[in-house]
Chains A and B, each alone.
Chain A
């Protein structure tokens, strides 16, 4: 998946996450994570994001994550939506969604 513009999804409300993605100027993946539960779940959240990026074949991405204690399923939904928006894809590709 090729990110052609900035994609944003989510909110800054409690139990949600706001994710902003765009292509990386050095063609790599970089995750900037800010989370209220970073100490306890930071590694887990990073791994989850890396997995989703890999599954969706995103090789160049700057991912900004502002997490307010979102559950895994919320993080997944927000990230996938942000990626679709950034790739300019209008309809869901169901086969890519786990």
Chain B
């Protein structure tokens, strides 16, 4: 409909021969065709591609239109098609990331900005208002936060929750208390701990969230929240426009942190973000560097904590995973809290551990 002389085709994304022309087309527009794409539509005039767009889960990406065919509203056709496909897949919330100069075009299609890394990238969502809805459902107090609130934020994946994480939460809990604590004001001196919700780690998001809740239940000023799609998710971490891998990480981290600082921090009254020093993982280290650049520009202080060490090595989740794989459970027991240890022995954790032993390690 409305295609005039154009044909709409769906690409077999697992067929290299079908991917190749889309990849070439996007490259000519200085865009990349991401490997996490699981659905692609193209519009052709004859055999020539003139426009394309893709879905990766609930994220619209890799949208490009041949310059000489711009102004024909081909983007509307592409986005409509992708939106209906996402609907068929029961995705009620859609994201799109795009260059900031295309922001108005997507706003016109019903998307609303979640946040922007100026000059680099913008993330939009549809229906709009999802971030605010999520924050309110997690107990954010918009009015108080804008004025008197002063709290600490932690963001963690906890794959699984270790004594290293526990140590960091304890430090944050104490800092929040001594810096901002108040016996009369509930909106001060709180640690908001956001657990990454993306299900791309070995331990499922629901299990990780519960491990963190149980492992911090005794700390009265700590509130545990699922990060939802708004903190370190496949939506806030785009890999779209930039080809240099270092730039990719920088841009990912930047978008995520701009969203955190400009949208999330004001809703939860966050004045300080605390983070564990990262000795091993280069991506996390780059993310920590980006925090140093970006957070202070929003008036948020960054505090890097030296990680808990045991036997001369920082206690890390990847060490725990390695030890489980090598069936050295006695050593695991020494570096996880009692609550995590109980979880690891539960029937629920069994399939996860089986999978862990079979698989090569993933980074996070």
Contacts and interface: CB of A to CB of B under 8 A. Distances in A.
Interface of A: 6, 8, 10-16, 18, 20, 34, 64, 66, 68
Interface residues of B, number: 15
A8 B90 CA distance: 11
B235 to A, nearest CB: 19
Contact of A14 (B73, B83, B92, B110): B73
B92 A6 contact: yes
A8 B127 CA distance: 12
B1 interface: yes
A13 B127 contact: no
A18 B110 contact: yes
Contact of B2 (A8, A14, A64): A14
A66 B1 CA distance: 17
Nearest to B80: A11
Given A12-B83, A13-B76, A18-B110, 5 more contacts: A6-B87, A10-B80, A15-B2, A16-B1, A20-B127
B2 A11 contact: yes
B1 A8 contact: no
Contact of B77 (A8, A13, A66): A13
Query: Counting chain B CB atoms within 10 Å of each CB, which of A6, A12, A14, A68 scores highest?
Result: A12
A13 B2 contact: yes
B110 A11 contact: no
B127 A12 contact: no
A14 B80 CA distance: 11
Nearest to B77: A13
B136 interface: no
A11 B127 contact: no
Nearest to A36: B108
B84 to A, nearest CB: 7
Contact of B110 (A6, A13, A34): A34
A20 to B, nearest CB: 8
B2 A18 contact: no
Contacts of B110: 12, 18, 34, 66
Nearest to B86: A8
Contacts of B79: 12
B1 A13 contact: yes
A63 to B, nearest CB: 12
Interface in B1-17: 1-2
Given A16-B1, A64-B127, A11 B77 contact: yes
A16 B2 contact: yes
Contacts of B77: 11, 13
Instruction: Give me the 3 closest cross-chain CB pairs, A-B, nearest first.
Output: A11-B80, A13-B2, A12-B76
B29 interface: no
A13 B43 CA distance: 14
Nearest to B109: A12
Contact of B84 (A6, A8, A34, A64): A8
Contacts of A18: 80, 83, 110
A22 to B, nearest CB: 8
Contacts of B80: 10-13, 18
A18 B109 CA distance: 10
